[in-house]
């Protein structure tokens, strides 16, 4: 049979990393990325890009741990290479602080990040409103550089990029054998997934180059994440809100909360305010399906619904999606050899 044609729908961190894993695993396939929006206009471009996982209730912890470990290991190698600055990947140390000791003192990812430990009393003096804290070193992806770096690698492998809104995955049937759905929150409309909902997040990107350590309140709402060219201040988590317009009173509130954690931010210069919709569901949808219509078949792999953890998990889920694409290729080869008999 001819080399299978694979379309990846979506050019956020999930779509691009999935396309890379598919192109690497199956070099004989022709791979294309189709997306309504590319960097710098995706949800992934709004994210802080920190590797600190959020627990998804519908996915077993050992699976989430495996996805995080694969992502951390992959990005750690990039951070330790000549590619680090172009890819926007760097190590960052800091603190996660709590107003009271959390029920779970050792999160599942504590042995994957580097040097995880309980903060000392002396360190906690920096945070007079907090009683307990964890110090560790993790990785951060700066966006859009990381997305642009992935796009460049994909183009070098011959992967085509098309700006295109897909109304229905069936419309790709005549051009592609396999379609990988990495549409993020767009999957709500694209495949009518009612379990997928937005969790709106508003962040500020400020100029404060003296802030070198990350600070995250354990409630997950307030955070300060220094990147290469700006510091991300957050945030909000508004379930079921589809609004992409920044709210000025929220901007003020975020800035105030961040200044109370890191008073030196009073001198920061505001650069921009951004809003993104986290594609949330109880678990990431990583699934293979066969769609049939009037005797025609379309092989579909879903990889979306990463919620607050798209950066933390992307490489692990991309590898799993590529494995599912491999199963589709095997099914295609099987049906083509049976047709010849
Ligand atoms: P997206 O980036 O939204 O990409 C979806 C792609 O699909 C886009 O290219 C879009 O144009 C395309 N698409 C959609 N529908 C269609 C269609 N019908 N036809 C064609 N193309 C279509 N995660 C972390 O791990 N760490 C963090 O620190 C972090 N911080 C965050 C802060 C904020 C404020 C927000 C909002 C999110 C944050 N996240 C973080 C979560 C992270 O941003 C998401 O999990 C991740 O970006 C999801 O990536 P994605 O590729 O699935 O979706």
Q: Ligand 1 mean position to 43 CA, how many Å?
A: 4
Query: Count of H helices and E strands in the chain?
Result: 9, 15
Whose CA is closest to 215, among 280, 180, 259?
A: 259
Domain assignment present for 57: yes
314 CB within 6 A, ligand 1: no
Cβ of 280 closer than 6 Å to ligand 1, yes or no, is: no
* pLDDT at site 341: 60
Asked if the model's pLDDT at residue 322 lies above 80, the reply is yes
Could you tell me if residue 340 is inside a domain? Answer: no
Instruction: Give CA separation, 145 vs 90, 206, 274, in Å.
Output: 12, 17, 17
Residue having the nearest C-alpha atom to atom 42 of ligand 1: 310
Tally of structural domains, the chain: 1
Atom nearest to 306 CA in ligand 1: 45
Token pair, residue 317, equals: 């889920």
Whether 317 maps to a domain, the answer reads yes
Question: Rounded to the nearest whole angstrom, what is the distance from the C-alpha of residue 266 to the centroid of ligand 1?
Answer: 30
User: With a 6 A CB cut-off, is 9 part of the ligand 1 pocket?
Assistant: yes
pLDDT computed for residue 138 by the predictor: 98
Ligand 1 centroid to 30 CA: how many Å?
A: 24
Spell out the residues 6+ positions from residue 225 whose beta carbon is closer than 8 angstroms to its own: 48, 49, 50, 92, 140, 214, 216, 231, 232, 234
With a 6 Å cutoff on the Cβ, whether 10 touches ligand 1 is yes
CA of 200 to the centre of ligand 1 (A): 11
Q: pLDDT tens for residues 146-197?
A: 999 999 999 999 999 999 999 999 999 999 999 999 999 999 999 999 999 9
> Looking up tokens 């040097």, which residue turns up?
115
Cα distance between residue 186 and residue 198, in whole Å: 10
Confidence of residue 318 (pLDDT cuts 50, 70, 90): very high
Residues in the chain, overall count: 341
The closest-lying atom of ligand 1 relative to the alpha carbon of residue 42 is 2
75 compared with 338, residue with greater pLDDT? 75
On average, the pLDDT of the chain sits at 96
Indicate if ligand 1 lies below 6 Å from the C-beta of 53: no
**218 CB under 6 A from ligand 1?**
no
- Assigned domain for 249 exists: yes
Among candidate residues 34, 300, 4, 288, the one with its CA nearest the CA of residue 154:
34
What's the 187 CA to ligand 1 centre distance in angstroms? 11
Residue 87 maps to a domain: yes
Query: What is the pTM (predicted TM-score) of this model?
Result: 0.96
CB distance 48 to ligand 1 below 6 Å = yes
Q: What is the mean pLDDT of residues 223-246?
A: 97
Distance 267 CA to ligand 1 centre (A): 31
pLDDT value at 290 more than 80: yes
Residue 228 is predicted with a pLDDT of 94
Q: What share of the chain has pLDDT > 90, as a percent?
A: 91
Domain around 86: 5-335
The answer to whether 38 and 78 have CB atoms below 8 angstroms apart is no
pLDDT at 340 over 70: no
Closest atom, ligand 1, to C-alpha of 190: 18
Q: What is the pLDDT of residues 240-277, one digit of tens each?
A: 999 999 999 999 999 999 999 999 999 999 779 999 99
22 CB within 6 A, ligand 1? no
What pLDDT is attached to residue 105? Answer: 79
Which pair of tokens denotes residue 87? 């890819």
Residue 331 inside a domain? The answer is yes
- The finding on whether 169 has its CB within 6 A of some atom of ligand 1 is no
Q: Are 110 and 88 in contact (CB under 8 A)?
A: no
Task: Check pocket membership of 182 for ligand 1, CB cut-off 6 A.
Answer: yes
CATH number at residue 265: 3.40.50.720
User: Is 341 a domain residue?
Assistant: no
CA angle 205, 211, 214 (to 5 degrees): 80
- What number is the average pLDDT over the span 14-31? 97
Residue numbering of the annotated binding site for FAD: 43-44, 166
Ligand 1 centre and the CA of 321: distance in Å? 17
Q: Reply yes or no on whether the pLDDT at 338 is more than 80.
A: no
């Amino acid at each position: 049979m001819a080399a299978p044609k694979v379309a990846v729908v979506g050019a956020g961190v999930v779509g691009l990393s999935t396309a890379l894993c598919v192109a690497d695993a199956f070099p004989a396939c022709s791979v294309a990325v189709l997306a309504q929006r590319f960097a710098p206009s995706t949800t992934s471009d709004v994210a802080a890009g920190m590797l600190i996982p959020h627990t998804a209730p519908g996915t077993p912890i050992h699976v989430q741990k495996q996805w995080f470990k694969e992502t951390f290991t992959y990005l750690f190698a990039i951070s330790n290479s000549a590619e680090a600055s172009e890819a926007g990947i760097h190590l960052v140390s800091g603190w996660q602080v709590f107003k009271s000791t959390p029920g779970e003192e050792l999160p599942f990812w504590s042995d994957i990040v580097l040097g995880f430990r309980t903060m000392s009393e002396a360190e906690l003096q920096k945070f007079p409103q907090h009683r307990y804290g964890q110090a560790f070193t993790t990785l951060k992806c700066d966006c859009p550089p990381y997305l642009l770096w992935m796009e460049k690698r994909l183009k070098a492998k011959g992967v085509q990029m098309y700006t295109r809104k897909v109304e229905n995955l069936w419309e790709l049937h005549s051009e592609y054998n396999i379609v990988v759905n990495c549409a993020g929150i767009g999957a709500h409309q694209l495949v009518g997934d009612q379990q997928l909902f937005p969790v709106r997040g508003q962040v500020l990107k400020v100029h404060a180059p003296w802030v070198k350590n990350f600070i995250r309140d354990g409630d997950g709402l307030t955070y300060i994440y220094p990147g290469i060219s700006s510091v991300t201040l957050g945030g909000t988590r508004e379930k079921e809100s589809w609004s992409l317009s920044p709210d000025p009173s929220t901007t003020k509130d975020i800035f105030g909360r961040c200044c109370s954690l890191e008073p030196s931010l009073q001198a920061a210069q505001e650069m921009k305010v951004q809003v993104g919709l986290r594609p949330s569901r109880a678990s990431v949808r990583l699934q293979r399906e066969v769609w049939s219509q009037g005797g025609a078949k379309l092989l579909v792999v879903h990889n979306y619904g990463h919620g607050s953890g798209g950066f933390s998990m992307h490489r692990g889920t991309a590898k799993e999606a590529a494995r599912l694409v491999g199963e589709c290729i095997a099914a295609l080869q099987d049906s083509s050899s049976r047709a010849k008999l």
